[in-house]
Amino acid sequence: MTSITLPAGRPGIRKGIGFDVSMPLFLVLAAVMCVLVILPLFWLGFYAFTDKTGAPTLAVFAKLFSDPTIRRAFLISLGMSGCVGVLSCVVATPLAWLVSRTDIRGRTVIRSLVTASFVTPPFLGAIAWQMLAAPNSGMVNVLYRWIFGLEHGEYMVNIFTFTGLVFATTCYSFPFVFTLVANALDRVPSDLEEASAILGGKPRTTLRRITIPMVMPAILAGALVSMVQALTLFGTPAILALPAGFHVITTKIWSFFQFPPRLDVAAASALPLLMIVVFLLWGKTWLLGRRGYTVLGGKSGVPRLAKLGKWVWLAWVYVIVVMSLTIFMPYFALLKTALTHTVSEPLTWETFTLHNFHFVLFEFSATRLAIWNTMLLGVVTATIVTGMAMVIAYLVARQSVMGSGLLGTLATAPIAIPGIVLGVGLFLSYANPTFGLYGTLWILLIAFMTLEMPAGYQQLSAAFNGVHPELEEASRILGATRLRSLWDITTPLLRTTIVAAWCFIFIGTIRELSATILLTTANTKLVSVIIYDLNESGDFGAISVLGILLLIVSFAVVLMANRVPLMGRIRPG
């Protein structure tokens, strides 16, 4: 065997120069993740399973299950989430098929519009539909009465019903199904579809017998994700269900924090919700883990596009109806209300005003503080979580420390914790005199870091798994530490994913309401909470302005992410 002797006097051609910080980083990150994830869950369990003296008891659960109002809230939540899951599949699956498997024009535009629906905060969409479909002042009902000359009490639609709640929630849950189904359709090999066509199968037969069965796991998984989103929402039910006179479980948990607070019942109510969400997410993972087909013989052909022919007009009608209900009409309602004095008056030169913008930006001091708090927490949360997620994903992907998989588990675990459940756990953990974080931005930062960690970790973990470690190994041979190799070699290659993760976390932070509503005070209000408070007072003009500002910031961040070069490059020489 030939030996290779490295020349003397060549510094850096040695392995292991410098102190390897992998183990210290692992220990620090493991401690931080335990504080973020395990501590709130511990206090939830402590309050739920002990009495005021700290002795173990099940009395709280006995009280919980004997309360008919709590049982009713659970049943309504389950029914609502099930309806949202089914309706999201009904809406999203044909739309995904149109953009993935037909020759309809403007497929990229349609995908972008669905993204806009995804970016829209659900509570803001609910308020917009309140402006459109409230029985008395809703724009649709005002127009309906004007066209048919009806009395004031007549209306065509009423958003303050169980059906209205399901509809408004579906408008901002179906993008989850659309994304999963569209990606599945993009990956379906065309070989079987072409074989069906060769054997005389009609397009409808091929769709029913070949394509749909192959993407059925993605459809069912999307339904479960939509159910989870509906089950854990606070803003939309609080805006639409409470005026209608009924609770869902998230609003019921929130009511336990009203005076006098019932923290033990809130904790006990949060645990069943947590278990239901864990079960649904496990079902989603199981479904996506099943493969209904296996590709043999290498890469499959280009997906077969169905020709719509004379049915293209019907496809466009469907697309326009879906986009109008989810994007065009709600955005028009926000813009129109921002530029007029009341919701019901039409937008004309006589009614046009900029008073709402002036009030929000210059007169209402609470909004300026809320905007500052929101932007500050968004930037800080996105930066910290992206940095932590990058290091965790690196340690897990390269298995540089024994037990690094534990970090991946801890980083993924918060995806199963609903925002309202985490809010209860954090309140119980940090509102006590020992920490005294309630009423500060620190408790909100902890909440956002916990909620957004799974999103950052999953994106960066997938990116690290797609980068071969040979360049890092070469850097290590030349004397660099793992941290230096990560910074100088891997990070430039992943800058697109890193920026995308940062933007995704930022948007998720500034639109969060479920946990925030339990953790804010007068000095720590965020834009989402201000919007909710203004909705309580009926100031829809100010709400519209704040909502428009929130959307502008969100779309600006998405645009910034899309302008980042697609892939970092290491240049030769």
The domain limits of the chain are 18-50+354-573, 64-293
- From CA 176, how far away is CA 281, in angstroms rounded? 13
Predicted TM-score (pTM) above 0.75: yes
Task: Check if the beta carbon of residue 543 is closer than 8 Å to that of residue 535.
Answer: yes
CA distances from 460 to 387, 393, 402, 506, 510 (A): 10, 6, 20, 15, 21
Q: Which residue's structure tokens are 């970092």?
A: 568
- From CA 325, how far away is CA 331, in angstroms rounded? 10
Task: Check if the beta carbon of residue 463 is closer than 8 Å to that of residue 481.
Answer: no
Task: Check if the beta carbon of residue 357 is closer than 8 Å to that of residue 143.
Answer: no
Task: Please state whether 105 falls in left (phi above 0), alpha (psi between -120 and 50) or beta.
Answer: beta
One-letter identity of residue 311? W
CATH value of 18-50+354-573 in 3.20.20.70, 3.60.21.10, 1.10.3720.10, 3.10.105.10: 1.10.3720.10
Task: Check if the beta carbon of residue 131 is closer than 8 Å to that of residue 139.
Answer: yes
pLDDT at position 188 = 73
18-50+354-573 and 64-293 share one fold = yes
The closest of 539, 507, 502, 532 to 517, measured between CA atoms, is 532
Render each residue's pLDDT in the chain as its tens digit; 573 residues: 444 444 444 444 344 445 567 788 888 999 999 999 999 999 999 999 998 888 899 988 988 888 999 999 999 999 999 999 999 999 999 999 999 888 899 898 999 899 888 889 999 999 999 999 999 889 999 999 999 988 888 899 999 999 999 999 999 999 999 998 988 888 776 666 666 666 666 666 777 677 777 788 889 888 999 999 999 999 999 999 999 999 999 999 999 998 888 899 999 999 999 999 999 988 888 877 654 444 444 445 566 677 888 889 999 999 999 999 999 999 999 999 999 998 888 888 989 999 999 999 888 888 889 999 999 999 999 999 999 998 898 888 877 778 788 888 999 999 889 999 999 999 999 988 888 899 899 999 999 999 999 989 988 888 877 666 766 666 666 666 666 777 777 777 777 888 888 999 999 999 999 999 999 998 899 999 999 999 988 899 999 999 999 999 999 998 887 776 544 433 333
- From CA 321, how far away is CA 95, in angstroms rounded? 11
One-letter identity of residue 380? V
Q: Which residue's structure tokens are 């909705």?
A: 535
Give Cβ neighbours of residue 227 (< 8 Å, ≥ 6 apart).
Answer: 81, 82, 84, 85, 280
CATH topology of domain 64-293: MetI-like fold (1.10.3720)
